[in-house]
Structure 1
Amino acid sequence: MIKEVIVVEGKDDTAAIRRAVDAETIETGGSAINEAVYRRIELAQKRRGVIILTDPDHAGEKLRRLITARVPGCKHAFLSREEATHKGDIGVENAPPEVIRKALDNVKTDFQRAESEITWEDMIDAGLVVHPEAASRRMRMGRLLGIGYANGKQFHKRCRMFQISREEFIEAYRRMDEEEESAP
């Protein structure tokens, strides 16, 4: 059983989590999260710890930011859009059990006030910003680093939040380049 409580958006997400692992969840009911749900998340964080696993879409990322701002020290698990999409529908509920287990094995801890080893210049040099294919490159790097997709500014912030080391960043960049070279 996973010690932490996993925060998800809805009951279908809870069902998907339970197919993958033995864990308890808190359902937010989407991004219209209310005070009672915040209090349950705060209590879970104090007693057991919390892992946030939201949909890899705009609403899921907004919810992740809201919870993180309100409840510091949460852990984060990420799914890519590809892993969580079925017949055009994006959501945790669509991810296969092995993908959910992999995301939970690669949980990242939120270090809000940490300094980043990754500079904005590193982001430019890696083609993650100010590049014609920056969005798709951030999607691939986010998958390789286990921090999910975000716009350039948020991606840089996540590198800081999750204390991505320069070595991790360089290794992910190398792997991304290898994937591009081997693509047809």
Structure 2
Amino acid sequence: ISQAQESRGVIIFTDPDYPGDMIRKNINDSIKNCKNAFIEKEKSKTSKKVGVEHANKQDLEEALLNCVTFEDYHQSDLTMQDFFDLKLNGNEESSALRKIIGKELKIGESNAKTLLKRCQMIGITRKDLMTLIEKNKK
């Protein structure tokens, strides 16, 4: 993967499940500046399985058009306390709200800690999150 990244670049496109998230995390931790494509679980599952291979062509193309690169140097003022204040953690509605944010930002569904890290790495600010939350309340 590191040779591919050096020569032509890498897009990480894993299944939207726990093993897929772990593979994505390990690759991103080991190899910098990979592009990441995400697809919603609902768009990539059958009655028995979850996997990218179950998505239709249009959803796959949309995911690839909306790749993000996670970089450590982006400036973000987000903290875990902001997640508590914005009800993204520690609230009955937190999981559903995080799902909406992940979908809007095209960075996948995740727990609070992972969403915070992803938001920080793409430069999302507290103000950006507040705007997204307000937009989706309507």
Q: CA deviation at 1:166?
A: 4.4
The answer for the alignment partner of 1:95 in structure 2 is 55
**Candidates 79, 82, 89, aligned match of 2:39:** 79
Extract unaligned runs of 5+ from structure 1.
1-40, 179-184
Q: Secondary structure at the match of 1:67?
A: helix
Q: Please give the TM-score of this superposition, normalised by the length of structure 2.
A: 0.90
Aligned residues: 138
The answer for the alignment partner of 2:80 in structure 1 is 120
Does the 8 Å contact 2:88/2:97 carry over to 1?
A: yes
Distance in 1, matches of 2:126 and 2:58, equals 29
Q: What amino acid is aligned across from residue 51 of structure 2 in structure 1? A: G
Residues 167 and 146 of structure 1, relative CA distance in 2, 3 Å threshold: farther
Per-residue CA shift, 1:83-125, capped at 9, x if unaligned? 1122242110111111111111111111024332323233223
The answer for the alignment partner of 2:105 in structure 1 is 145
Greater relative contact order (Cα < 8 A, sep 6+): 2
**Residue 70 of structure 2 is aligned to residue 70 of structure 1:** no
Residues 155 and 102 of structure 1, relative CA distance in 2, 3 Å threshold: same
Distance in 2, matches of 1:125 and 1:95, equals 35
C-alpha RMSD of matched pairs (Å): 1.6
Which structure 1 residue ranges, 4+ long, deviate > 3 Å from structure 2? 165-168
Distance in 2, matches of 1:101 and 1:167, equals 30
Give the strand-richer structure, 1 or 2. 1
Q: Secondary structure at the match of 2:64?
A: helix
**Residue 135 of structure 2 is aligned to residue 135 of structure 1:** no
Distance in 2, matches of 1:103 and 1:167, equals 25
Q: Secondary structure at the match of 1:72?
A: coil
**Percentage of identical aligned residues:** 34
1:162-177 aligned at under 5 Å gives the runs: 162-166=122-126, 168-177=128-137
Does the 8 Å contact 1:142/1:148 carry over to 2?
A: yes
